[in-house]
Structure 1
Amino acid sequence: MPVSIQDVADRANVSISTVSRVLNRRNIVNQETRKRVESAISDLGYSPNVFARGLMLRKSHILGLVLPDLHGEFYSEVIRGANLRARELGYNLMISSIVAKDDGSELMAAVGDHGLVDGLAVMISEVNARTRATLEKIKIPLVVLDGDVDGVKHDSVVIDQRTGVVALLRHLIEDCQARRIVFVGGLETNIDTIERLDAYREVTADAGIEVTASDVHHLDYQYDTAFELGVKKVREWARRRAAVFAANDEMAAGIIDAALAAGLSTPDDLPVVGFDDTRVATMTRPRLTTVRVPMSSMGAAAIDLLCQRIENPKRPAVKLSLETELVVRESCGAPSAITS
């Protein structure tokens, strides 16, 4: 039979409550008694039932992380940062995703209403009535990544999208002499796409660069769909002496490969830039000029805010904005590109 907490108490000649205090709050038990209990635990090979302890303490020491997808380096880096920070703070991480056409209500209810996790970090791709209604039901500490939801109590971690796009496009215009820039983004309702497109329109307008409806394309952040678009459009773009701003590195890689398949050169015939600075950016040929997003730091910051909220539920809401960084390589035709 497995060793019980009663066995440990009998071995150490103490009460069950004393064993529990040693397990959970070592500092309130005198040193001699604590050593006796710890010796009994070691001798008997006792392993506490973490779920039973969680029910007793009303804490599971598990944090939840819900993402729009689990595929790709962007999400894996967010997970890596979150997991490392959670372990440093004494928590385990439970990870899931919300599939397309699912508002996540069943998942949120399961983790939020049944005590499975002490706090929840959710990355949202768009804010709508269903998203808001789902998040309003969450009663445990909540951190929203990559956006804000009006009317819902939460902390948030966001990326300074605008600064990154402005730096990238000004580099294209001022250093690479771009006079027409095509935008290739995600879905029109996607939060990142909206922010990056707004900044694109702002910079091109300030520079006096005309943007027509045919210059803006909405895809799904995937290589394949960007390649398919590129097959149809790269010759036209090259003929118009356009540069392409793809709203993530994966789509930028698809455009570059489509240009190569059409016998065109990047950047000579078609400069291309991306966003995120995932490993894809250094695997393309030429290597990709892009904007570095602190993906791992984003996950870690979300866990920090969750744990702070767990410790102090009444503190004011916090919105943390993470900085981006322009990374210049060869795909944009810059006079001198860095080698990172």
Structure 2
Amino acid sequence: MPYTIKDVAKKANVSIATVSRILNNQTGFSEKTKKKVLQVIEELGYHPNAVARGLVNKRTHTIGVLVPALSSMFVTGVLSGIEKAANEAGSSIIVCHTESKGGKTMNYLQLLNEKRIDGIIFTSEILKDEYYEFISKMGIPMVLLATKSPKHSVPYVKVDDLRAAYTATEYLLKKGHTKIGMISGDEQDIIAGIPRIEGFKNALEDYGITADDNNIVTSRGFGFFDGVEGSKKLLQQSPDITAIFAASDEIAIGALSSAYQMGIKVPDELSIMGYDNLSLAEMSIPPLTTVAQPLVEMGEKAAKMVFTMLDSDQQVESIIMPHEVVERVSVKEKR
């Protein structure tokens, strides 16, 4: 049976309140008493109850992270950064898999409220009014990650999706490709769908190429099978394209798989470029050229913003993270 704070106080011959003050770095005791209590704690192997300590200092040292898909390698990347920053701050995280479902998200928010978490990182989807209002009533810091809210003033960490998609398309254009197709996610998605499509179109237009709707295929999501089916549809609609810009690495890997099944050689006959720079991009055959988001750093920044808001009780500035093209071998210069 584990020892309690009462056992520590009894053996050290001090009050429970004195032990509590020592554990919470408060004043009201001598150095001799502190040394004695700490020695007893070590002898008994006493571990303070985190929940009980949270009631004293009004912090539970946990933050909630809401993610739409646990299986996504994108989410794995940002979670690594969040966990790293939380661990360094002496906190832990509770990850909630929402599946982008309203009811499930609200259930998780209720759970996080009951857990008295210190803050929330809301990831990769639209911050609906009902979510915002509930979290506002919780009275805790919130940071958006890989998303932003056009309606609510909430700090965020993300790349400029329009600009990053423009950069990816411009890279293909500079490689000599003029007949370029795009496989996107949901065209109604204001977070990653619309901006990346607009970036693609803007780059083509700036290079004097009319954006043809037949050269853009939209999917329900940003996964592997969206890329498999999307690439087949795109090549049926526009068989003369020489390059594909995929709105995620998972879509791009699906397009690589589809090209292999159809006997199309990448990059000799068709160049494919991704978006994200997941670890999967380096492992694919051929290794995928992509525009990188600094996923781990993004997660780390978001968590540190939450802790800054907790410690200073002030709002923080949103952060636009840099993106860059990572060249591998899935894109070939068009001669």
- Structure 2-normalised TM-score? 0.91
Asked if 1:126 corresponds to 2:153, the answer is: no
Gaps of 5+ in 1: 336-340
**Per-residue displacement from partner, 1:299-324 (whole Å, max 9, x unpaired)?**
111110010111111x2332011111
Tell me if the contact between 2:181 and 2:234 (Cα under 8 Å) persists in the aligned partners. Answer: no
**Superposed displacement of residue 253, structure 1:** 1.2
Q: Distance in 2 between matches of 1:10 and 1:153?
A: 51
Q: Distance in 2 between matches of 1:29 and 1:164?
A: 58
Q: Distance in 2 between matches of 1:77 and 1:241?
A: 32
**Per-residue displacement from partner, 1:218-256 (whole Å, max 9, x unpaired)?**
11111113212323443654x413311100111111112
Partner of 2:223: 222
* Mean CA deviation greater in 248-257 or 315-324: 315-324
Tell me if the contact between 1:122 and 1:145 (Cα under 8 Å) persists in the aligned partners. Answer: yes
Partner of 1:277: 277
**Change over 3 Å in CA distance of 1:253–1:43 after alignment to 2:** same
Secondary structure (helix, strand or coil) at the match of 2:217 reads strand
Secondary structure (helix, strand or coil) at the match of 1:221 reads coil
**Superposed displacement of residue 145, structure 1:** 0.9
Q: Distance in 2 between matches of 1:136 and 1:50?
A: 25
Any residues of structure 2 matched to 1:89-128 within 5 Å, and which?
89-102=89-102, 104-112=105-113, 114-128=114-128
Partner of 1:338: none
Q: Distance in 2 between matches of 1:158 and 1:139?
A: 24
Partner of 1:81: 81
Q: Distance in 1 between matches of 2:100 and 2:127?
A: 14
Tell me if the contact between 1:126 and 1:189 (Cα under 8 Å) persists in the aligned partners. Answer: no
* Mean CA deviation greater in 4-13 or 16-25: 4-13
Q: Distance in 2 between matches of 1:218 and 1:53?
A: 51
Any residues of structure 2 matched to 1:4-153 within 5 Å, and which?
4-25=4-25, 29-102=29-102, 104-112=105-113, 114-130=114-130, 132-133=132-133, 135-150=135-150, 152-153=152-153
Secondary structure (helix, strand or coil) at the match of 1:93 reads strand
Identity %: 28
Secondary structure (helix, strand or coil) at the match of 1:116 reads coil
**Superposed displacement of residue 155, structure 1:** 2.3
The RMSD of aligned alpha carbons is 2.2
**Superposed displacement of residue 150, structure 1:** 4.5
Q: Distance in 2 between matches of 1:150 and 1:132?
A: 12
**Change over 3 Å in CA distance of 1:216–1:151 after alignment to 2:** closer
Tell me if the contact between 2:126 and 2:148 (Cα under 8 Å) persists in the aligned partners. Answer: no
Any residues of structure 2 matched to 1:235-314 within 5 Å, and which?
237=238, 239-313=239-313
**Superposed displacement of residue 28, structure 1:** 6.7
- Structure 1-normalised TM-score? 0.90
Partner of 2:328: 329
Q: Distance in 2 between matches of 1:67 and 1:194?
A: 20
Q: Distance in 2 between matches of 1:5 and 1:73?
A: 43
Q: Distance in 1 between matches of 2:330 and 2:28?
A: 62
Partner of 1:189: 188
